């Protein structure tokens, strides 16, 4: 008797799964795409800066795309955290934003002369020095990171310890970190001025690269700049304030499947 041999064709995914000793590969994750806004360095305490910020708020509220949130990356006020009138004006203007607003302090919000006192005032008026939010599965970490070597240390507060704990709590989710002063050197007056102390900078960069951090967003330089911190991009935004003859601006970011792109929007004062 002749034996017949049959060849059974299995789907490729099953063959691969059998060879690998596991189940078929999962379907691709759902597409993640959303927009958010960064504003920085409003420096309330100057009438021109207050008008620029009010105009920026109007423009953000009229954007044609849905904005998940707005993040203010520091220097909300110009060394006037103890002035109730300046703080009241800042809150009255910024509270008109329709999207959720997240704050973090900069070097002009917490003075190097009285960091503990000013930190307490900032917490009372604007919220914690560090905070967390989540949008569409992406973790936003807002961190006060002024270098202790420059005199801005708040007693009993370690921002890098807070960041490390928050990154671990993210459990592998994509993270965007926001702070004020970039860790890199600043170039002005035709020379490079040192950034963070080497030890603090190394700890910062190592932390970012040990987790699923997709980008770092900052302000402070009053210029548009971009750097790499290991594999993590650092985007530095230009300010709302008009120092150095700048036209005020803010940024619209789009997060799309782990990648970040942005558009700079100039603040037009003519209505």
**pLDDT tens digits for range 29-87:** 679 999 999 999 999 999 999 999 999 999 999 999 999 999 999 999 999 999 999 99
Alpha helices, DSSP H, located in the chain:
12-20, 47-61, 84-94, 115-125, 159-169, 198-209
Is the pLDDT at 27 greater than 90, yes or no? no
- Model confidence at 26: pLDDT above 80: no
pLDDT band at 267 (very low <50, low <70, confident <90, very high): very high
> So what's the pLDDT on residue 150?
67
* CA angle (18, 22, 25) in 5-degree steps: 100
| Residue 68 in tokens | 């998940």
Q: Cβ distance 240 to 49 under 8 Å?
A: yes
Contact status, residue 251 vs residue 38, Cβ threshold 8 Å: yes
Quick one: what percent of the chain has pLDDT higher than 70? 87
Report the CATH number of the 28-266 domain. 3.60.21.10
Query: What are the tens digits of pLDDT across the range 127-150?
Result: 999 999 999 999 999 999 987 666
Answer whether 53's CB lies under 8 Å from 41's CB: no
User: Distance between CA atoms of 67 and 72, rounded to whole angstroms?
Assistant: 14
Between CA 76 and CA 82, with CA 80 as vertex, the angle to 5 degrees is 115
Measured distance CA(271)–CA(269) in Å, rounded: 6
Beta bridge partners, 227, equal 234
Angstrom distance (rounded) from CA 39 to CA 219: 9
Express each pLDDT in 167-214 by its tens digit.
999 999 999 999 999 999 999 899 999 999 999 999 999 999 999 999
Q: How many CB atoms lie within 10 A of CB 181?
A: 24
In this structure, what are the phi and psi dihedrals at residue 17, rounded to the nearest 5 degrees?
-65, -40
């Amino acid at each position: 008797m002749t034996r017949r041999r049959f060849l059974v064709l299995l789907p490729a995914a099953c063959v691969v799964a059998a060879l690998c000793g596991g189940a078929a590969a999962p379907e691709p994750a759902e597409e993640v795409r959303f927009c958010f806004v960064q504003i920085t360095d409003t420096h309330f305490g100057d009438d021109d800066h207050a008008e620029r910020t009010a105009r920026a708020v109007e423009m953000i509220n009229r954007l044609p795309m849905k904005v998940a949130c707005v993040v203010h990356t520091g220097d909300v006020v110009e060394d006037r955290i103890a002035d109730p009138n300046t703080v009241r004006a800042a809150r009255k203007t910024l509270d008109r934003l329709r999207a959720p607003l997240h704050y973090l302090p900069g070097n002009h919000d917490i003075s190097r002369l009285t960091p503990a006192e000013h930190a307490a005032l900032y917490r009372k008026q604007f919220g914690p020095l560090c905070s967390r939010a989540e949008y569409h599965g992406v973790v936003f970490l807002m961190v006060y990171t002024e270098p202790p070597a420059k005199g801005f240390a708040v007693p009993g507060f370690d921002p890098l310890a807070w960041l490390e704990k928050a990154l671990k709590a993210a459990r592998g989710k994509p993270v965007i970190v926001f702070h004020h002063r970039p860790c890199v050197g600043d170039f002005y007056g035709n020379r490079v001025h040192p950034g963070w102390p080497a030890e603090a900078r190394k700890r910062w960069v190592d932390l970012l690269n040990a987790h699923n951090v997709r980008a770092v967003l900052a302000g402070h330089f009053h210029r548009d700049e971009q750097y790499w911190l290991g594999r993590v991009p650092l985007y530095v935004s230009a300010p709302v304030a008009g120092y150095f003859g700048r036209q005020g601006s803010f940024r619209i970011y789009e997060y799309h499947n782990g990648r970040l792109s942005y558009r700079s929007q100039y603040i037009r004062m003519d209505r």
